[in-house]
């Protein structure tokens, strides 16, 4: 039996000075720049309550990833043994959802300026959630 | 212009004693039980390298959520003002992806026993990622 399928409609897109995958750091804390999260007009109401200084978790759709990859050499290092993608942060994986922790710098209508974000310009945004402080469940 | 759509095919399903939404805690650290993550045979290779004691982030598809909700009273408390869903952990949101931090208790072929997990039995699993220790980017 085939599992059911679900459809993601992006709530917005990343606007960043990073335009090439090869220029993007592997993780946000490895020198990633600030970026804008630009929501669609149909979802912008969902931002109400978000303020500068908030810590957010941004889920993206890594649209350039390869979805038929199940094992990789971690961080592309051939000296490291092949490892299941679910034990790594490889962007290549069956459902390539990116997970990014960012701080909010500015809120302008339907856009958030955040940092740091290693996703490239044009990356679709799947969801935005608050970090739950003092709780393990949000990490 | 309509944004592009992306398709999620679950990599597996949650097997839990929690079968009713009303019995599920709102967050994992609010008394959630252990559960099994049962991967499909086509994705199980992606688990190689995961061991008991590992800390993982599990992304689920909250298949019973309402997707046309953009503002809620946080935690269903009518005394709290309407807030954008992206400033809350409401399951009701345009792309209802759940985010859960769990510990691995046991690995058996294509299944992981984990805790705590507040998702109910049958919840589709979107992705599994390692927690990046000592890094802010994974939280």
pLDDT, residue A76, reads: 86
Quote the longest CA-to-CA distance of chain B.
48
Contacts with A31 (C-beta within 8 Å, 6 or more apart), sequence order: A25, A116
Rg of the Cα atoms in chain B: 16
Chain A residues with CB-CB distance to B27 below 8 A = 132, 135, 137
SS3 B138: helix
Task: Return d(Cα A35, Cα A107) in angstroms, integer.
Answer: 12
Residues 65-104 of A with CB under 8 A from B: 70-71, 82-89, 93-95, 97, 99-101
Query: CA-nearest residue of chain B to A69?
Result: B46
What are the phi and psi torsion angles at A61 (to 5°)? -105, 115
In this complex, is the C-beta atom of B115 within 8 Å of any C-beta atom belonging to chain A? no
Query: What pLDDT shows up at residue B5?
Result: 93
Q: Which tokens in the block code for residue A73?
A: 């050499």
8 Å CB contact of A89 and B132: yes
Q: Which residues of B touch A61 (CB under 8 A)?
A: 6
Q: How far is A11 from chain B (nearest CA, A)?
A: 7
Please compute the mean of the pLDDT values over residues A14-21 and round it to a whole number: 94
Judged by a CB distance cut-off of 8 A, whether residue A24 touches chain B is no
Contact of A53 with chain B, judged by CB distance below 8 Å, is answered with: no
Per the structure block, which two tokens stand in for A10? 């992006």
* Mean pLDDT along residues A28-50: 95
Q: Which position has the token pair 């992206």? A: B86
Residue-wise pLDDT tens digits, A78-117: 999 999 999 999 999 999 999 999 999 999 999 999 999 9
SS3 state of residue B122: coil
Q: What is the pLDDT of residue B114?
A: 98
Note the pLDDT of residue A28: 84
- Report, as an integer, the average pLDDT of A121-139: 76
Q: Which is nearest to A100 in space by CA: A24, A45, A47? A: A24
Q: Each residue of B89-102: pLDDT tens digit?
A: 999 999 999 999 99
Q: Which of A128, A114, A122 is nearest to A47 (CA)?
A: A128
Sign of CA dihedral A118, A7, B93, A88: negative
- Residue B136 to residue B32: CA distance in whole angstroms: 25
Q: What is the pLDDT of residues B6-51, one digit of tens each?
A: 999 999 999 999 998 888 888 888 889 999 999 999 999 999 999 9
DSSP B17: S
């Amino acid at each position: 039996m085939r599992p059911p399928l679900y459809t993601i409609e992006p709530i917005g897109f990343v606007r960043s000075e990073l335009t090439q995958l090869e220029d993007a750091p592997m993780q946000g804390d490895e020198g990633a720049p600030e970026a804008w999260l630009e929501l669609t007009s149909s979802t912008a109401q969902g931002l109400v309550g978000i303020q500068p200084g908030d810590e957010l978790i941004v889920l993206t759709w890594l649209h350039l990833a390869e979805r038929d990859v199940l094992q990789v050499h971690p961080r592309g290092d051939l000296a490291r043994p092949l490892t299941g993608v679910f034990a790594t942060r490889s962007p290549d994986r069956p459902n390539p959802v990116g997970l990014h922790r960012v701080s909010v710098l500015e809120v302008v209508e339907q856009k958030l300026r955040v940092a740091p974000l290693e996703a490239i310009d044009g990356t679709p945004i799947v969801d935005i959630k608050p970090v739950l402080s003092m709780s393990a469940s949000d990490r």
